[in-house]
């Protein structure tokens, strides 16, 4: 049903990524304003300091800005959620925010990619902890293999100490997988360049080491999910690159949007 819904939307409105001018690597950072223009939904991307590199990674800019633009468009088309737009513009509002910015606490939903390269200073870790415990939500995506996972969990431990907060593998019967669409597996989505090089035959970017995709989470003391971690998969590339190749779209985007919209709806209602 999800595939039919998204294909119908794509046929009627055109692939979302083709709706606006694209510059995937030089788009200026749209910093979060002191006052958000309305109370409708907008995604905030975390601007972080990169302390190491990963193959095919781009630091905080990975999947920016068309990951969040296209996800917001599909959210507005496939749900009743009001998505923030400035002055009647077609492109949804989307913001970049530093963890030390006061604007962080206006963000209903934050996302970060390539977090196997992130470095958090003490003040940043404290601010992120405050944000999450006050009801904030963070989704980290597109980091692959054991080294990236170990680096990320070391940084996350500065925010949410493992003695107090466990990282769990979220079972497929959890409500987050059923917010709107029934997700029956964690999809492994590769970046479009790797997909082209493998001619669509391979999805694990680190070979056997990253063969299994993971959907993990950290909950607060009341059981609310604060942090979602999609490891060994690049969910956001199924949004960012949906308009570039029909074969890529059909192979990955329906599953990617199923996960994305479910996570957004869960974050906004819990």
CB 108 within 8 A of CB 43: no
Give, in order, the Cα–Cα distances in Å from 72 to each of 44, 164, 250, 270.
11, 33, 19, 19
**pLDDT for the residue 8:** 47
Print the SS3 string covering 240-251: HCCCCCHHHHHH
Domain with 234, as residue range(s), is 2-20+29-269
CATH code assigned at 231: 3.40.50.12140
**Among the listed residues 31, 30, 39, 29, the one whose alpha carbon sits nearest the alpha carbon of residue 108:** 39
Over its length of 270 residues, how does the chain's per-residue pLDDT go in tens digits? 555 455 545 544 445 444 444 555 567 899 999 989 888 999 999 999 999 999 989 999 999 999 999 999 999 999 999 999 977 678 999 999 999 999 999 999 999 999 999 999 999 999 999 999 999 999 999 999 999 999 999 999 999 999 999 999 999 999 999 999 999 999 999 999 999 999 999 999 999 999 999 999 999 999 999 999 999 999 999 999 999 999 999 999 999 999 999 999 999 999
- The DSSP-derived string for the chain is -HHHHHHHHHHHH--GGGSS---TTTPPP-BPPSS-SSSSB-EEEEE-EE-S--TT--GGGTTTTHHHHHHHHHHHHHS-PPBPBSTT-SSBPEEEEETTSGGGGG-S-EEEE-GGGEE--HHHHHHHHHHHHTT--EEEEEE-HHHHHHHHHHHHHHHS-TTT--EEEPPTTSGGGGSSS---S------HHHHHHTTTS---TTGGGG-S-EEEEEE-TTS-EEEEEEES--TTHHHHTTTT-HHHHHHHHHHHHHHHHHHHHHHHH-
Number of folded domains that form the chain: 1
The model carries a pTM of 0.92
**Cβ 228 vs Cβ 169: under 8 Å:** no
Bond into 133 cis (ω within 30): no
* Cα distance between residue 203 and residue 215, in whole Å: 16
Distance of CA 89 to the CA centre of its chain: 23
Question: What pLDDT was estimated at residue 6?
Answer: 56
pLDDT of residue 90: 82
pLDDT confidence of residue 28: 85
């Amino acid at each position: 049903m999800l595939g039919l819904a998204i294909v119908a939307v794509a046929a009627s409105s055109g692939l979302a990524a083709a709706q606006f001018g694209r510059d995937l690597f030089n788009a200026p950072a749209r910093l979060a304003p002191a006052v958000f223009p309305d109370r409708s939904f907008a995604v905030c991307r975390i601007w972080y300091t990169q302390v190491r590199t990963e193959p095919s990674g781009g630091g905080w800019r990975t999947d920016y800005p068309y990951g969040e633009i296209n996800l917001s468009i599909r959210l507005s088309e496939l749900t009743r959620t009001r998505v923030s737009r400035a002055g009647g513009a077609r492109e949804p509002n989307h913001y970049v925010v530093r963890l030390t910015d006061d604007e962080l606490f206006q963000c209903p939903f934050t996302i970060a990619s390539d977090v196997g390269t992130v470095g958090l200073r003490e003040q940043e870790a404290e601010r992120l902890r405050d944000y999450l415990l006050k009801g904030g939500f963070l989704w980290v995506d597109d980091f692959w293999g054991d080294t990236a996972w170990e680096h990320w969990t070391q940084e996350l431990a500065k925010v949410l100490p493992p003695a107090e907060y466990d990282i769990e593998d979220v079972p497929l019967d959890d409500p987050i997988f059923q917010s709107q669409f029934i997700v029956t597996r964690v999809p492994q989505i590769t970046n479009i360049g790797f997909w082209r090089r493998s001619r669509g035959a391979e999805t694990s970017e680190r070979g056997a080491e990253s063969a299994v995709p993971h959907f993990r989470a950290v909950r607060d003391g009341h059981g609310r999910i604060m942090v979602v971690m999609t490891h060994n998969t690049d969910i956001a590339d199924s949004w960012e690159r949906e308009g570039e190749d029909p074969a890529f779209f059909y192979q990955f985007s329906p599953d990617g949007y199923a996960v994305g919209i479910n996570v957004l709806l869960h974050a906004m209602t819990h």
